[in-house]
Structure 1
Amino acid sequence: MSEQASYRVAVRALCDFTAREGDLDHRFTPSPSAQEGIAGHALVASRRGAEYVAEMPLSGTYKSLTVSGRADGYDPAEHRLEEVKTYRGQLERMADNQRALHWAQVKIYGALLCRERGLGEVTLTLVYLDITSEKETLLSQKASAAELEAFFTTQCERFIAWAEQEAAHRAARDASLGALAFPHPAFRPGQRELAEDVYRAASTGRCLLAQAPTGIGKTLGTLFPMLTAMPRKRLDRIAFLTMKTPGRRLALDALAQLRPDKPDAARAEQKAPRVLELVARDKACEYPGTACHGDACPLAAGFYDRLPAARQAAVARSWWDREALRDIALAHNVCPYYLGQELARWADVVVGDVNHWFDRHALLHGLAQANEWRVGLLVDEAHNLVERARGMYSAELDQQRFNRVKRSAPKALSRPLASLGRQWQAVVKEVVENATEASEGAGYHLLESLPDKLAGALQNAAASITNHLGEHPEDISFELQELLFEALAFCRLADNVGDHSLCDVTLKGRGKALIGLRNLIPTDFLAPRFKAAQSVVLFSATLTPAHYYRDLLGLPANTVWREVTSPFAARQLEVRIRRDISTRFRDRQASLAPIVAEMSHQYQQAPGHYLAFFSSFTYLDAALERFCAQHPDIPALAQTPGMREAEREAFLQRFTPGGRGIGFAVLGGAFAEGVDLPGDRLIGAFIATLGLPPFNTFNEALKARLSARFGQGDDYTYRIPGMIKVIQAAGRVIRSPTDEGVVVLMDDRFAQPGVQALLPSWWAMGGRYLS
């Protein structure tokens, strides 16, 4: 009956691929936790007879495919095979595609059981256990061995056809990548050095921190060697992870250059690595404001029925950026976003945000773990990962939102919500009573720990909301759902509180408290994510000092740090330090006159486009007002708080070749990094700040934690993050080996040896620092 097996698949994975049908349904349905599911399975098994076999291993082969798994239970006396599923709430609300998946699983197990024991028929039973009431609902049907074998054969044929197609694709992909050529006649200066370091890291399975200057082509210089290493080092997937949308576009442009360029387009498509761009759901949604289920969205109705054809059409094309994915999805009447989520399983190169690997619920990390992929990670603008990761592993509760929900919540939830409200108010009262005159005006206060009674009330409220919505789905509202999600996220983090986090309260007025769990040291959460990858390359123009990133990101002990030689020469950039200016808070008013004088003098000496960076909008506005009053003849434009994308684009469009003017911006903001203004679109930058984070209660607590863990509190909290922002802003000026410009650092502290040690080494070559 069988041939030599060359493919293996678990029963769940087989059915998930071949047997889903019906609508996409992402309505909120409270589900049991993993621990509750395990306990539920044990409870069902304990209720069965002595001969009941729990967790029964079964396997079988069809042609080249071996299918295996563990059936939840079998009663040999009744010839009854059970598949146990725990749930919460109303069973009838379970999505049809889930029910179809459950029946498929028990049928496959039934086929394997009949084979193994020579049975002519078996009773198949889905056991649905309500974990709240512990009540079982049994759905049963008898099936003959012949019909189960036919079902098994159909699923296996579908899977084998796909598996053989995938194997052929991988062979063609690897052959193509084995002959991959660099798409330009020569590497840029520094680009070959970077590419060699990346290939070395991929070959040895190590982590690389690569500091490489802007303008050498880092995106292409990292993708090319990682793709080259892919077949040689048996990498299953490459993930190019970015911090912002422009980074995705640069990666896709580079990948487009690396695609095979053959006369036979169809054959080239088969050989080319499959490239997927992952975008946020709100950016991909065709029906904004519509719920993700078949009753509301036409692209969700029948999604799983049409998914196989859409998936097959996609793999015939192999290029799945946002536009191409949308075209495929709409041609098959399926949701573009969820088609992209499905294709993440089959893409060779995925381009997306860093959250897809490093977040608590990261899609790519989850798939890699489930499928045991060997993954090569490329992390662009990696200097931002510390702050991004802190945000991923922090949570906040808003009392104002809670009060709104409490007023409109169903009566059944009044008691647990009232209890949570009392505990919340008790925390606020204690904070106010213990506040001193030294407390900050914004009402920011640290707590020694998360109060146990508040944590308990929050867990109880979350459980009560979950149970109620399971029984009464009609009571769900957006705000109640959001409160539940926030509470669950908060409770998960509360279970892992340590010296890497702190708890705080911000009082913004009566009934407007915010309670936060803030991650300070992401290393404890990120270290397992780096370990899960076969190879990791983190690259940026600013990755100095290396120990800062090793410590805070939890990089492996054998991580290699490399600084790519800059193709730029000191003669291209004049760096001046104004030692006579202090931008300290107490000196801000006095600093305005010399800052404005320096800017106007430099502009008169060399008219053109400049950017001027300040530590805050308040400081920016004061400098702008004085500058415009004293120099109305010099064009000036300014960044404003909360600028929309169109407004930011309009700001940058003012920097035209041959134009003139000074743009006022905030250091660390939208125009301080990721902005490319080559040639004379930008010829200089004024930086009127060291970029130091504010001296406040939070940052002093952060400093204390970092001192205790690493002995580097002051540097890790203030000096290094500030200088990263400065170097990024200054990096807007020189973008290519032909650019020339000036950077004026306006603060006496820039002359300190400890600060200058953090500046790019090529700036100092030739003695270009002037005071």
Structure 2
Amino acid sequence: MNAQPQERPACAVKNLDQRPDDLEQGPEAAARRPKSIAPEPDSIVRGPARSSGESTSPIQACEDHPTPAAAYTIAVRALCEFGARRGDLDLRFTPAPSAREGIAGHAWVRSQRGAGYQAEVALSGSFRHLRVRGRADGYDPARNRLEEIKTYRGDLRHMPENHRHLHWAQALTYAHLMCERQGLARIEVALVYFDIAARRETVLAETHEAAELRRRFEALCSSFLDWSEQELAHRARRDAALARLSFPYPGFREGQRPLAVAVYNAARAGLCLGAQAPTGIGKTIGTLFPLLKAAPAQGLDKIFFLTAKTPGRALALQALQRIEAAQDAPVLRVLELQARDKACEHPDKACHGESCPLAQGFYDRLPQARAQALQGTRLDRPALRAVAAQHQVCPYYLGQDLMRWCDVAVGDFNYYFDLHAPLYRLAQDYEWRVGVLVDEAHNLLERARGMYTAQLHRSQLAAARRAAPAAARRALDAVARRWNALCADQTEAYEARDELPAAFIAALQRAVGVLSDEQDANPRSADSALLRFYFDALHFLQLAELYDRAHSVWDVSLAAPGAAGTAARGQEGATVRGQSALCIRNLIPAPFLAERYAAAHTCTLFSATLTPWAYYADTLGLPAQAAWVDVASPFKAEQLQVRIARHISTRYRHRQASLAPVVELMAQQYRARPGNYLAFLSSFDYLGQLAGLFRQLHPDIPAWEQAPSMNEAERLAFLENFTDQGQGIGFAVLGGAFAEGVDLPGRRLIGAFIATLGLPQINPVNEEIMRRMDAAFGRGYDYAYLYPGLRKVVQAAGRIIRGHDDQGVLYLIDDRYDRAQVRGLLPPWWRVEPMQAPRAASENRARA
């Protein structure tokens, strides 16, 4: 093992940990402020001043407008989406091209134009006190033609009418703005649809009089004016309330204040912040409150609170409710973001008006549903469902629309960090200034790897082929042949390769094009297996465009070692070599995540386990100037007895021999102090063996086990065993549902046994991760195995001590815990005591 790394230096932000005078706010704040913390001079580095001309919101005060009334600015796209969408919600049309494909498509169209062609023309205009602005895709002065370019896949004839209606609304709005700027009496307006696969343009052109375009523009603006005034009034009330915001408790918990100050100052300085803070101090409200407090001065349009798991989302909603309850009147619109499969009212129906009644006429009923939803401030799942039911609209897509109008959005990591993240896309489209909070940020590495990984299984291809019509079957056969060629010479179960296979990628692109045409021509007849392969192939191709060996690996996995040598002849007339899988596997998500941090005004990643900081800074792509705060634990060493069972090895080769001594250790501790305990094991297999032996030898001690794939009710039943009066031992897997995000204060949990170091399995994928980490950062083993393992250990141990009055015991069961490097990664407030090994055990250990 390597020595402990030198930490990346903290950022150069001056006085990041100083307490700003206005953090608590209000005359009552000074009275309740602990006397031990005196006011500090206002010497904190502030964020960049906001210019009056900077567009950051779809609705924004415009200070330089010449009229005496307040003026509002909105993007052309936002105006048209608000007022020009009509008809059904319809998702049958082929998914839009990727951002890179769209940019390339626009560039290709522009390359076909003459020398005088103007691209990305900035335009603006006003109606009463509404200011509209945007960038037209292109204008040809020689032909007096304004163009709106749309890239697409598939058959244009099957584009839903409401999509085209929206596209025309945008084109005609830009045409009016161009007539106003150039003083034109008429103009030709063209919708240019560009097929990215066939590289073919379809041009729909019309000539419009300037007077007619003005009438259209004014009607569209009129439909928005009342709403814009309402929204700006809401923004003014919101910012005034946040400026007066006071902490909703009599005082901060110990450790909560420095966390809050760091978040506040990072927002003022416009920085990214990494914050390690112990469990039990109230990190959720300790990060939300200061960012809300900073929002008015920093001009934040939105705050995104992102979590890895459902309990974190619930805690955030509760904290926001508490903050609101402490104020004069609720003003924050808080939106809970749900996954589509959980919000869907008709999972057996497709998302279009001919199938789902909530999609039929969705955009016609959306304005009324939106208006009613925003009469309240709590936009959680029950509230959205109630409004959606009243107006007969889809609750999921109602929530998607309300992203534009909420103040705080609470949802999963993927809503901002995923390849197609809607919050990130909207923030870019509408130029919002956002503050992002990332809860339990230690989970972001694995989650982000999954977001930027794409895998195709041979069984999926076979299932898609069986369901495909004749034309698509031939295209899939070509993919199968290229797939066979990739596996032909492979003898190992796993192989990482240097370059993407161009021939296979080309065959897959052709197959996707054919499947797209089939889907457009027969939208009702698509088989689920065919659709699944189609969407997985699209994702695969999108990541193929972004592939770089610096952050990802292209690998081929066979069913088992030697499987490449056993070929079977299938009905497809092609050689099938096992159940192979092709994968573009992301290992270092840093380059992708860095774009997300850069798009936010401030971003705070917080967790109880962000050590070593350099590991997270490197792998998560945090900027070099990011700040870092490590909040000292408010807990005392006397509260937690930490004992290392160094006479036991839980290595795989010693697993069987470890069962009896681990069982006896657990039984001895339980009989010495009966109560509730958790035992964390490395796998379900080890868990089953240990729990079985424990029951056999100690049948009088209650025991219950975590099972694989437990549903929400089963997880709740597991936790219900942990009562204040309960006694027994719960067996769980380290890193699973009960190892973090679980709050069992007081007598509900008095101890834990961790019989593993938590290291990831040694397998070809993890070995490749180690090689890549070593090449990128020089710390391959630590980055691939040691740090991820110890993070899980510390997270699980954090279930024991949740408050100042809690007392407990922790057993770290493995001789490797006694190594200096491993102990150096444990929380500094722990007082670790190695156990004396029984003589017989130490002799057996030496022989092993």
Q: Supply the distance in 1 between the matched residues of 2:274 and 2:488 (Cα, whole angstroms).
A: 47
Aligned to 2:792: 725
Q: Could you tell me how far 1:503 is from its partner in structure 2?
A: 2.4
Trace 1:65-76 onto structure 2 (pairs within 5 A).
Answer: 65-69=130-134, 71=136
Aligned to 1:349: 408
Aligned to 1:483: 533
Trace 1:371-386 onto structure 2 (pairs within 5 A).
Answer: 371-386=430-445
Q: Find the residue that maps to 2:830 and give its secondary structure.
A: helix
Structure 1 pair 364–89 and aligned structure 2 pair: CA distance change class (3 A): closer
Aligned to 2:624: 557
Instruction: Give, as a single letter, the amino acid of the residue that structure 2 aligns with 1:249.
Output: A
Farther off after superposition, 473-482 or 334-343:
473-482
Q: Could you tell me how far 1:464 is from its partner in structure 2?
A: 3.1
Q: Could you tell me how far 1:672 is from its partner in structure 2?
A: 0.9
Q: Supply the distance in 2 between the matched residues of 1:16 and 1:244 (Cα, whole angstroms).
A: 32
Farther off after superposition, 330-339 or 58-67:
58-67
- Which of these residues, 224, 232, 236, is aligned with residue 297 of structure 2? 232
Q: Supply the distance in 2 between the matched residues of 1:287 and 1:679 (Cα, whole angstroms).
A: 43
1:377-415 per-residue CA deviation (whole Å, 9 max, x = no partner) reads 111111111111111111110101101111221111233
Q: Supply the distance in 2 between the matched residues of 1:687 and 1:34 (Cα, whole angstroms).
A: 46
Aligned to 1:460: 510
Q: Supply the distance in 2 between the matched residues of 1:135 and 1:567 (Cα, whole angstroms).
A: 65
Could you tell me whether the CA contact under 8 Å between 1:400 and 1:511 is conserved in 2? no
- Which of these residues, 467, 475, 479, is aligned with residue 408 of structure 1? 467
- 1:573 and 2:573 matched: no
Trace 1:239-250 onto structure 2 (pairs within 5 A).
Answer: 239-250=304-315
Trace 1:169-184 onto structure 2 (pairs within 5 A).
Answer: 169-184=234-249
Q: Could you tell me how far 1:38 is from its partner in structure 2?
A: 6.3
Structure 1 pair 523–48 and aligned structure 2 pair: CA distance change class (3 A): closer
Aligned to 1:253: 318
Aligned to 2:664: 597
Farther off after superposition, 539-548 or 139-148:
139-148
Farther off after superposition, 516-525 or 108-117:
108-117
Task: Give unpaired runs (5+ residues) of structure 1.
Answer: 436-442
- Which of these residues, 222, 235, 255, is aligned with residue 190 of structure 1? 255
1:339-389 per-residue CA deviation (whole Å, 9 max, x = no partner) reads 111111111111111111111111111111122222111111111111111
- 1:640 and 2:707 matched: yes
Farther off after superposition, 613-622 or 122-131:
122-131
Q: Could you tell me how far 1:707 is from its partner in structure 2?
A: 0.9
Task: Give unpaired runs (5+ residues) of structure 2.
Answer: 1-64, 561-576, 837-848
1:392-449 per-residue CA deviation (whole Å, 9 max, x = no partner) reads 11111010110111122111123321121112112222113xx3xxxxxxx3343344
Could you tell me whether the CA contact under 8 Å between 2:154 and 2:513 is conserved in 1? no
1:297-354 per-residue CA deviation (whole Å, 9 max, x = no partner) reads 1111111112122222222212211111112222222111111111111111111111
Aligned to 1:438: none
Aligned to 1:527: 594
Q: Supply the distance in 2 between the matched residues of 1:40 and 1:246 (Cα, whole angstroms).
A: 43
Q: Supply the distance in 2 between the matched residues of 1:655 and 1:6 (Cα, whole angstroms).
A: 58
Farther off after superposition, 447-456 or 313-322:
447-456
- 1:512 and 2:579 matched: yes
- Which of these residues, 83, 89, 96, is aligned with residue 24 of structure 1? 89
Could you tell me whether the CA contact under 8 Å between 1:30 and 1:466 is conserved in 2? no
1:200-237 per-residue CA deviation (whole Å, 9 max, x = no partner) reads 21121222221111111111111111111111222221
Structure 1 pair 734–68 and aligned structure 2 pair: CA distance change class (3 A): closer
Q: Supply the distance in 2 between the matched residues of 1:727 and 1:351 (Cα, whole angstroms).
A: 26
Aligned to 1:588: 655
Q: Could you tell me how far 1:111 is from its partner in structure 2?
A: 3.4
Q: Find the residue that maps to 1:188 and give its secondary structure.
A: coil
Trace 1:287-686 onto structure 2 (pairs within 5 A).
Answer: 287-432=346-491, 435=492, 443-473=493-523, 476-495=526-545, 496-508=547-559, 511-686=578-753
Could you tell me whether the CA contact under 8 Å between 1:600 and 1:631 is conserved in 2? yes
Q: Find the residue that maps to 2:649 and give its secondary structure.
A: coil
Structure 1 pair 695–92 and aligned structure 2 pair: CA distance change class (3 A): closer
Could you tell me whether the CA contact under 8 Å between 1:635 and 1:661 is conserved in 2? yes
Could you tell me whether the CA contact under 8 Å between 1:574 and 1:769 is conserved in 2? no
Could you tell me whether the CA contact under 8 Å between 1:571 and 1:768 is conserved in 2? no
Instruction: Give, as a single letter, the amino acid of the residue that structure 2 aligns with 1:104.
Output: A
Q: Could you tell me how far 1:28 is from its partner in structure 2?
A: 3.8
Q: Find the residue that maps to 2:324 and give its secondary structure.
A: coil
Q: Supply the distance in 2 between the matched residues of 1:571 and 1:223 (Cα, whole angstroms).
A: 31
Instruction: Give, as a single letter, the amino acid of the residue that structure 1 aligns with 2:346.
Output: Y
Q: Supply the distance in 2 between the matched residues of 1:497 and 1:287 (Cα, whole angstroms).
A: 40
Farther off after superposition, 704-713 or 200-209:
200-209
Structure 1 pair 135–667 and aligned structure 2 pair: CA distance change class (3 A): closer
- 1:695 and 2:773 matched: no
Aligned to 2:226: 161
Q: Could you tell me how far 1:191 is from its partner in structure 2?
A: 1.2
Q: Find the residue that maps to 2:619 and give its secondary structure.
A: helix
Structure with bigger helix share is 1
* Residue identity (%): 56
Farther off after superposition, 465-474 or 185-194:
465-474
Structure 1 pair 87–365 and aligned structure 2 pair: CA distance change class (3 A): closer
Structure 1 pair 118–587 and aligned structure 2 pair: CA distance change class (3 A): closer
Could you tell me whether the CA contact under 8 Å between 1:30 and 1:467 is conserved in 2? no
Q: RMSD value over aligned CA atoms?
A: 2.7
Q: Supply the distance in 1 between the matched residues of 2:200 and 2:641 (Cα, whole angstroms).
A: 77
Could you tell me whether the CA contact under 8 Å between 1:30 and 1:470 is conserved in 2? no
Structure 1 pair 474–253 and aligned structure 2 pair: CA distance change class (3 A): closer
Aligned to 1:11: 76
Q: Supply the distance in 2 between the matched residues of 1:305 and 1:599 (Cα, whole angstroms).
A: 64
- Which of these residues, 777, 781, 792, is aligned with residue 714 of structure 1? 781
Q: Supply the distance in 2 between the matched residues of 1:500 and 1:128 (Cα, whole angstroms).
A: 34
Structure 1 pair 755–339 and aligned structure 2 pair: CA distance change class (3 A): same
Aligned to 2:214: 149
Structure 1 pair 602–6 and aligned structure 2 pair: CA distance change class (3 A): same
1:687-709 per-residue CA deviation (whole Å, 9 max, x = no partner) reads 11001111222222211111111
Q: Find the residue that maps to 2:405 and give its secondary structure.
A: coil
1:503-550 per-residue CA deviation (whole Å, 9 max, x = no partner) reads 222222754111222111111211121122111111111111111111
Structure 1 pair 471–590 and aligned structure 2 pair: CA distance change class (3 A): same
Q: Supply the distance in 2 between the matched residues of 1:40 and 1:606 (Cα, whole angstroms).
A: 70
Structure 1 pair 121–426 and aligned structure 2 pair: CA distance change class (3 A): closer
Q: Supply the distance in 2 between the matched residues of 1:72 and 1:557 (Cα, whole angstroms).
A: 36
Q: Find the residue that maps to 1:663 and give its secondary structure.
A: strand
Aligned to 2:160: 95
- 1:738 and 2:738 matched: no
Q: Find the residue that maps to 1:431 and give its secondary structure.
A: coil
Structure 1 pair 419–73 and aligned structure 2 pair: CA distance change class (3 A): same
Structure 1 pair 469–586 and aligned structure 2 pair: CA distance change class (3 A): same
Count of equivalent residues = 754
Structure 1 pair 113–535 and aligned structure 2 pair: CA distance change class (3 A): closer
Structure 1 pair 225–68 and aligned structure 2 pair: CA distance change class (3 A): closer
Q: Find the residue that maps to 1:323 and give its secondary structure.
A: helix
Could you tell me whether the CA contact under 8 Å between 1:523 and 1:552 is conserved in 2? yes
